[in-house]
Each structure stands twice: as C-alpha cells, then as structure tokens.
Structure 1
Amino acid sequence: MKPRELVEQWVKKKKSFYFFLPDGPYGRPFDNQYFIDKIEDTSDGFDVIFTDSLVLHFTGMPDVVDEGCNLLISKFTQCVLEIKGNKSNSYDYGEVALSGF
C-alpha cells in the first residue's frame, strides 16, 4: 500500500488532529487542533491538507507507522510545511507525528 493510502486510512478514523514536526510541536498540543480536508497524491509524493490553510508536503516514499492515536511518518526525502501558500519550514530528516482524536 502506498504511503498516502496508509495516511488516508488512518485519518478516516479520526476527527481532529495536532502534529509534531521534526523540531517540535506545531502550536500547543491539545490547545491547537486542526482538521484535515484531504490527502492528495503529487508528482513527487503526497500532501496532507488541513482546513487552516496548512499543508504538509511529503516527497519520496516515506515510512508510515500506525501507533493507534499517533501516525508516524519518517524516512521522507523532504517534508515542507506551508502556511497560507508560503513555505514555512522544510525538513530532510526526522519524523512527523500526527496525533488524532
């Protein structure tokens, strides 16, 4: 199964989310909660698109591990956080953790 499909399956079972980037949490966990509009394939990976004009763009074929409440995404070529269409942070290492409720 493709990484995007694994992420999509996990997201369908949850309602709201927060996430941790390789350098720490985005916002305050439990205080800042986000909703995912969709997950799309791209020419070089996939995007996780949140309602607040936030996008996590993953390139490559990352590993995706379901830990129940958390989904761990690692071994990506690059992960870019976009806020309102502007590149905010970029990572070529580490792990992104989606936490869902």
Structure 2
Amino acid sequence: MNTIQYIKDWISNKESFSFFLPDGPQGRPFDKQYLIDGVIENQNGVTIKMSGGIEFEFEGEVQYRDEFCNLIVNGFSVLRYKVNGVVNSEYLEGEFCLNGF
C-alpha cells in the first residue's frame, strides 16, 4: 500500500486529531483538536490539510509507522507547517506525529 492510501485509511478510523512537530507541540499538547480536511498527493510528496487553515507539506520519500493512536511520519526532505497559506515553520529532519482518536 502506498503512503497516501495508508494515511487516508489510518485517519478514516479516527474523528479528532492533534499533532506534534519535530520540535514539539504548538501550544499545550492536546488542548486543540482538529479535523482532517484532506490528504493530497502532489508532485513532490504529500500534503495533509486540517481544519483551522493548517497544512503540513511533506516533500521527499516520506515514511510512516503506526503506533496505534499516533502516526509517525519521517524520512521527508522538507516539512512545511502552514497556517492560512503562510509558512509558519520549516523542518529538514525529524519526526512529525499525527495523533488521532
């Protein structure tokens, strides 16, 4: 199964999401919960769109591992964290964690 289909299947079993960037949470962990608006394959990788105008753009050979309530994404060459279309942070390494319930 390819990465994008795996991510879509993983989120389809969950209703509410939070996230942790490679340098930690934005604000207090688990205070804010989001919905997934879409998972899109683009020419450079994968984009996860969330409610609140939040997007995560992954470029490169994205890898993932399922840790039950957490989907860990790594192996990207660039991760852009965008809010309302504006790049808030950019990461060249590390792990991204999508937490879902």
State the TM-score, normalizing by the size of structure 1.
Answer: 0.95
CA contact (8 A) 1:18 1:26 kept: no
RMSD of Structure 2 on Structure 1 (CA):
0.9
Q: Number of residue pairs matched?
A: 101
- Corresponding residue for 1:26? 26
| CA displacement at 1:50 relative to structure 2 | 0.5
In the alignment, structure 1 segments of 5+ residues that lack a partner are none
CA contact (8 A) 1:79 1:91 kept: yes
Q: Distance in 2 between matches of 1:64 and 1:97?
A: 10
1:99 aligns with 2:99: yes
Q: Distance in 2 between matches of 1:12 and 1:61?
A: 23
- Corresponding residue for 1:10? 10
CA contact (8 A) 1:3 1:61 kept: no
State the TM-score, normalizing by the size of structure 2.
Answer: 0.95
In the alignment, structure 2 segments of 5+ residues that lack a partner are none
After TM superposition, where is structure 1 displaced by more than 3 Å over at least 4 residues in a row? none
- Corresponding residue for 2:57? 57
